[in-house]
Amino acid sequence: MPDDREQRYDPATIEPKWQARWAADPSLYAVEPPSCGKPKYYVLEMLPYPSGQLHMGHVRNYSIGDALARHMWMRGYNVMHPMGWDAFGLPAENAALKNHVPPREWTLSNIAGMKRQFNRLGMAFDWATEVTTCLPDYYRWNQWFFLRMYERGLAYRKKSKVNWCPECATVLANEQVIDGRCWRHEDTIVEQRDLVQWFLRITAYAQELLEGLDKLDGWPEKVRTMQRNWIGRSEGTEVDFFLAEGHDKTEKRIRVFTTRVDTIFGATSVQLAPQHALVADFTAVNPALKAQVDELLDQQKKAREAGDLGAIEKHGVPTGHFAINPYNGARVPIWIANYILADYGTGAIMSVPAHDERDFEFAVKYGLPIQQVITPEDKSMSVVLPFFSEDGLLCNSGEYDGLSCTQAQKALQEVAARGAFGEAKVTYRLKDWGVSRQRYWGTPIPMLYCETDGLVPVPDDQLPVLLPEQIEITQQGGSPLARDAAFVNAICPKCGGPAKRETDTMDTFVDSSWYFYRYTDAKNSTAPFDSAVANYWFPIDQYIGGVEHAILHLIYSRFWTKVMRDLGLIANDEPVRRLFTQGMVIKDGAKMSKSKGNVVSPDDMIARYGADAARAYSLFAAPPDRDLDWQEDGVAGVSRFLARVWRLTTKYAPVARTGRGIPIEGPTGAALKLLRKLHQTIAKITLDFEARWHFNTDVAAIMEFVNELQAADAQLASGEIPAPVVSALLRNLVLLLAPFAPHLVAELWEELGETGSILRAPWPQSDPELAREDELEIPVQINGKLVTVVGVSVDADAKTIEAAALADEKIQARIAGKTVVKIIVVPRKLVNLVVK
Ligand SMILES: [Zn+2]
Ligand SMILES: [Zn+2]
């Protein structure tokens, strides 16, 4: 008599039961010491911002990593799968403004809530190594790193134009400005302000960051391309034009950067950015020019704010001054143009209209001369200006005529170096990382300003510089910390006199730049982490997160790793061996997000269908690298499938238990057929974990296998399928589902008479002999129309297949009395008869 248990799959009972058991066993998800002798595997999903609620986008991200971690445990690896909180940042301050809850309280209570959600989803995280970046035991090491960088000249202060988000009321890094808008406020135009700021010298590693990308072959190509473009290396030459006053050149120089010094004889003007230092000299004595320059500045500002600097309508004004080409003494007019950027290259260019599209457009507009200096090697080719090829020869270039472009570049660079008016130069688009934020909820920058000693770093033994807890937060008037006298006023460690603290805090991307090292040794109170432990775990074997971090977190953390290596803390050059960027979760045509109001809460899904169904659905509904279109029907469908697994397994568990551990001998018939399907499914899923990550088709393959089991219900019920085979079928079904539906499998594992955690059970191995199909079904067509299928051996050759097709009764009936003109055989696939 079937009891209730066999009939009803009840995740609401099973799931909390197992969560409680797992929570009671801290060793379950804990790492083992390196001496365990197992190979290590570090799998990591990007840590969440504790906004208060997980949504299904999170569930998808973490379900991918969790499935992989579980699989690797079963493969016998020493797995590290930690979790933490990217807990500093503006939303906590905004919430404080709105609800009058202190940011710390708000953040910690959100963390508690999200941790509950993670546990309710059954995620296999080792909470013993939890990292919370807003707590002093973590951020003191941000300060420590900052001081080490300061000592090495990698952290410095300068006044510069910075990106200012009026909505955030703080400075943003270049990486946080997307199309001229704030990365957090897509409707807010970023302004430019002059401020004294702290910078980290990421440009010191520009070349290494670029070259390292070639070795990151476990990263998506699109991410590598984005980083290459962001670093933006260009090789060229810096050359000084001399300022001409009257007929003589002065010693004043205008340094220009060009990638095409071979075209310098074609330069017909020099163009300055409106902010160029020389422009101020010119306008100081020329109010009319000043007014024109102000207009150019205004146009540039508007274009920058519109995020479309590249498409700016080009305007320029002549200064009335001239510059002298150092190679041929030619006098060319100096212009000021709105499309020349002060922060790119030297803020000045030579304009060569014959060989540059932008220069050509400008010259035509303002009637500047156009002088061709490169000609195609093939003399018969007609030339239309502008002509940009680098496969040409120089002409109209004096002694350099006839040289190839590359030869000329080299020769001209040498001449410039000898004459001390220029040099070969590599420039990068990458700028130093501005890390000062005029906000409260971040790591205090550990610096003091003393009246006597100037800038003084906080000594290591005074770390952490604690973030005061009671503080009034407003969005006006600079850093909130500046209004806290108890924080600001300090004692100078050098002279004992009064000093004032730096009141800017660090960009939150500092926190995430090295958090994954802290996981390896999260409780260390004397160092950020133990080097030996980090060296065992790094690099991360698999990192999983959103592509939106390609030029933010993923470039900052590479930089931080290189700095830590140079500090002697770690041995690896790169933090992450393999990177996976998952697709978004879409609902009603838009990315699932709080601001769009289309968030599906995992709590609701768990209440209705269970955590296993929600997790398995998020893997099943789309390939992990593609966007997933959220359909609640789909979750219901997966839930029904899990219920089928439940019924089937509990029904035959008693038989399986009697066959447990008994070797299978010479299976035949239905038993053989089911075992074949099983081993094919094992092979497919194993391969997917190793390479393809098509988890959506894995869940589908398990569904197919379950369909076959159900179709064999009569043979299972009658005992035709021997107990050892039943045991193998059900045991492996449960093992295969283990990465995807952890609660269900834990319960069924026990049901099958197994003891111990399924996470420590070896992953099933596919037997290639059993997996091999011995017969294939080949469709046979007549004149392109399917008539029948014939069974042939898998390794049948074309002749055998043809014979089998012609011997088929249906085919014989159709071709009787007709002429077979042609027989096309595609081995293993198809036979087509052309009949008249
Ligand atoms: Zn903003
Ligand atoms: Zn002092």
Q: Ligand 1 mean position to 58 CA, how many Å? A: 23
Q: Ligand 2 mean position to 449 CA, how many Å? A: 8
Q: Ligand 1 mean position to 579 CA, how many Å? A: 28
Minimum-distance ligand to the CA of 165? 1
Query: Residues in the chain, how many?
Result: 836
- Encode pLDDT of 615-671 as tens digits: 999 999 999 999 999 998 999 999 999 999 999 999 999 999 999 999 998 888 899
Q: Ligand 2 mean position to 238 CA, how many Å? A: 42
Minimum-distance ligand to the CA of 500? 2
Q: Ligand 2 mean position to 491 CA, how many Å? A: 8
Q: Ligand 1 mean position to 90 CA, how many Å? A: 9
- Encode pLDDT of 691-702 as tens digits: 888 899 998 999
Q: DSSP string spanning 102-167?
A: -HHHHHHHHHHHHHHHHHHTT----GGG-EETTSHHHHHHHHHHHHHHHHTTSEEEEEEEEEEETT
Q: Ligand 2 mean position to 455 CA, how many Å? A: 9
Helix/strand/coil percentages in the chain, nearest 5: 45, 20, 35
| Cα–Cα distance, 715 to 312 (Å, whole number) | 75
- Residue 512, sorted as left (phi over 0), alpha (psi -120 to 50) or beta, turns out to be alpha
Q: Ligand 2 mean position to 97 CA, how many Å? A: 36
Mean pLDDT confidence for 132-149: 98
Is residue 307 within 8 A of residue 181, CB to CB? The reply is yes
- Encode pLDDT of 422-454 as tens digits: 999 999 999 999 999 988 999 999 999 999 999
Q: What is the DSSP letter of 439?
A: -
pLDDT at 486 over 70: yes
Minimum-distance ligand to the CA of 189? 1
Minimum-distance ligand to the CA of 493? 2
Minimum-distance ligand to the CA of 496? 2
- Encode pLDDT of 803-817 as tens digits: 889 988 899 998 988
Q: Ligand 2 mean position to 497 CA, how many Å? A: 5
Q: Ligand 2 mean position to 459 CA, how many Å? A: 13
| Cα–Cα distance, 96 to 79 (Å, whole number) | 39
Q: Ligand 1 mean position to 165 CA, how many Å? A: 5
Q: Ligand 1 mean position to 647 CA, how many Å? A: 53
Is residue 317 within 8 A of residue 335, CB to CB? The reply is yes
What whole-number percentage of the chain has pLDDT above 90? Answer: 72
- Encode pLDDT of 248-291 as tens digits: 667 789 999 999 999 999 999 999 999 999 999 999 999 999 99
Q: DSSP string spanning 303-325?
A: HHHTT-GGGPPP-EEEEEEEEE-
- pLDDT value of position 246: 65
Q: What is the DSSP letter of 288?
A: H
Is residue 146 within 8 A of residue 126, CB to CB? The reply is no
Q: Ligand 1 mean position to 310 CA, how many Å? A: 23
Minimum-distance ligand to the CA of 181? 1
- Encode pLDDT of 351-370 as tens digits: 999 999 999 999 999 999 99
Q: What backbone phi and psi angles, to 5 degrees, belong to 440? A: -90, -50
Confidence of residue 307 (pLDDT cuts 50, 70, 90): low
Classify residue 407 by burial, with Cβ atoms within 10 Å: 0-12, 13-18, 19+.
middle
| Cα–Cα distance, 185 to 169 (Å, whole number) | 12
Q: How many CB atoms lie within 10 A of CB 214?
A: 9
Minimum-distance ligand to the CA of 168? 1
- pLDDT value of position 247: 60
Is residue 383 within 8 A of residue 391, CB to CB? The reply is no
Global pTM value: 0.85
Is residue 374 within 8 A of residue 409, CB to CB? The reply is no
Q: DSSP string spanning 37-87?
A: -SPEEEEEEPPPP--S---HHHHHHHHHHHHHHHHHHHTT-EEE---EE--
Residue with structure tokens 């049948």? Answer: 796
Q: DSSP string spanning 163-181?
A: EEETTTTEEE-GGGEETTE
Give the lowest-confidence range in 52-56, 291-295, 514-518. 52-56
Cis peptide before 464 (omega within 30 of 0): yes
What whole-number percentage of the chain has pLDDT above 70? Answer: 98
pLDDT at 6 over 70: no
Average pLDDT, rounded, for the chain: 92
Q: Ligand 2 mean position to 197 CA, how many Å? A: 21
Q: Ligand 1 mean position to 94 CA, how many Å? A: 11
Minimum-distance ligand to the CA of 492? 2
What are the tokens at 707?
């369909």
Q: Ligand 2 mean position to 493 CA, how many Å? A: 7
- pLDDT value of position 708: 96
Measured at the CA of 70, the angle between CA 66 and CA 73, to 5 degrees, comes to 140
Q: Ligand 2 mean position to 446 CA, how many Å? A: 15
Q: Ligand 2 mean position to 526 CA, how many Å? A: 27
Q: How many CB atoms lie within 10 A of CB 402?
A: 12
Q: Ligand 1 mean position to 717 CA, how many Å? A: 65
- pLDDT value of position 1: 40
Minimum-distance ligand to the CA of 498? 2
Minimum-distance ligand to the CA of 176? 1
346 Cα distance to chain centroid: 32
Q: Are strands 785-793 and 775-782 parallel, antiparallel or unpaired?
A: antiparallel
- pLDDT value of position 2: 45
- pLDDT value of position 248: 64
* Residues near ion ligand 2 (Cβ under 5 Å): 450, 452-453, 492, 494-495, 497
Q: Ligand 1 mean position to 231 CA, how many Å? A: 24
Q: Ligand 2 mean position to 96 CA, how many Å? A: 36
How far apart, in Å, are the Cα atoms of 814 and each of 128, 428, 536, 811, 823? 73, 73, 70, 5, 14
Measured at the CA of 701, the angle between CA 699 and CA 707, to 5 degrees, comes to 105
Give the lowest-confidence range in 126-130, 159-163, 764-768. 159-163
Minimum-distance ligand to the CA of 177? 1
Q: Ligand 2 mean position to 488 CA, how many Å? A: 15
Is residue 441 within 8 A of residue 89, CB to CB? The reply is yes
Q: Ligand 1 mean position to 430 CA, how many Å? A: 21
Q: Ligand 2 mean position to 498 CA, how many Å? A: 7
Q: Ligand 1 mean position to 192 CA, how many Å? A: 13
